[in-house]
């Protein structure tokens, strides 16, 4: 808690840095990229790995720009959504496009996010094969939460499978979601059941 690092801590950081530096990962954090720029960079990187990209992550959709003056942002974001789908097919690679939610959930009694809450486009939910929403119930109210430190991973759309909701643990100090502890791991809990 004091913020100090021990020699073993530094050793672990060094080991992880070596693995990360040698990993086949490219990060491009250029701001306000256009779809043609993203497509061009993805094609160029694909050539360096014999066309075998493992994953493209766009963080986040609403930061993209067309580079043109547009009157309707919803139409522009819908076009991005369609172009992302085409790029995924062209390069045969999954693309994770992170998107903001609108404030629709704030107006409802049940604050759980829904597909219709995807910001600035109905096309996102139509074009996507899978839509996963994150929900942290302990952020919804002003009182004590019934589920502090928990979150829900909601598979709201799955073109090739079932939709579902899974409770996970949220470790805010690491900005990390982890599986919930099994009851067998919790003192006094029955083996084989989930906590």
One domain, residues 72 and 102: yes
- Any domain includes 13: no
Mark whether 178 and 141 lie in a shared domain.
yes
Instruction: Tell me, yes or no, whether 14 lies in a domain.
Output: no
Count other C-beta atoms under 10 Å from residue 30's C-beta.
Answer: 8
Which of 99, 128, 157 represents a domain boundary (last residue)? 128
Structural domains in the chain (count): 2
pLDDT tops 70 at residue 194: no
Of the chain, the percentage scoring pLDDT greater than 90 comes to 38
Does the residue 31 lie in any domain?
yes
Q: What number of CA atoms fall less than 13 Å from residue 68's CA on the CB side?
A: 12
Query: Are 59 and 119 in a shared domain?
Result: yes
Residue 148 sits in the same domain as residue 176: yes
Q: Centre a 10 Å sphere on the Cβ of residue 156 and count the other Cβ atoms it contains.
A: 20
Q: Are residues 42 and 123 in the same domain?
A: yes
**Is residue 12 a part of any domain in this protein?**
no
Angle between helix 35-48 and 73-91 (nearest 10): 10
**Statement to judge: residues 79 and 140 lie in one domain:** no
Distance, in Å, from the CA atom of 90 to the CA atom of 85, rounded to the nearest integer, reads: 9
Among 73, 94, 128, the domain-final residue is 128
Q: pLDDT tens digit string along 3-35?
A: 688 999 999 999 999 998 888 888 888 888 889
Give me the phi and psi of 128, to 5 degrees please: -70, 140
Cβ atoms of 95 and 56 within 8 Å: the answer is: yes
113 with 139, same domain?
A: no
| Domain, as residue range, for 97 | 26-128
Task: Please report the pLDDT score of residue 142 as a whole number.
Answer: 65
CA dist., res. 153 & res. 136, Å (int): 9
Mean pLDDT check: name the lowest of 22-26, 53-57, 153-157, 189-193. Answer: 189-193
With 70 as the cut, is the pLDDT of residue 37 above it? yes
Domain boundary among 128, 148, 176: 128
Pick the closest to residue 43 from 90, 96, 98, 94 (CA basis).
90
pLDDT tens digit string along 116-154? 888 666 788 888 899 999 998 888 776 677 788 899 999
């Amino acid at each position: 808690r004091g913020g100090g690092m021990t020699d073993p801590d530094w050793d672990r950081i060094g080991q992880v840095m070596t693995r990360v530096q040698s990993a086949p990962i490219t990060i491009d954090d250029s701001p306000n990229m256009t779809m043609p720029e993203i497509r061009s960079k993805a094609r160029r990187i694909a050539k360096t790995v014999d066309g075998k990209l493992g994953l493209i992550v766009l963080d986040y959709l609403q930061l993209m720009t067309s580079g043109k003056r547009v009157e309707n942002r919803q139409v522009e974001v819908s076009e991005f959504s369609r172009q992302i789908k085409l790029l995924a097919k062209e390069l045969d690679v999954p693309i994770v496009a992170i998107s903001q939610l609108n404030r629709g959930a704030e107006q409802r009694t049940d604050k759980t996010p829904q597909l219709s809450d995807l910001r600035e486009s109905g096309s996102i939910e139509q074009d996507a094969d899978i839509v996963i929403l994150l929900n942290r119930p302990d952020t919804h109210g002003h009182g004590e939460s019934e589920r502090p430190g928990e979150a829900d991973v909601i598979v709201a759309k799955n073109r090739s499978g079932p939709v579902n909701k899974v409770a996970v643990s949220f470790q805010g100090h690491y900005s990390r979601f982890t599986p919930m502890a099994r009851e067998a791991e919790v003192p006094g809990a029955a083996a084989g059941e989930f906590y």
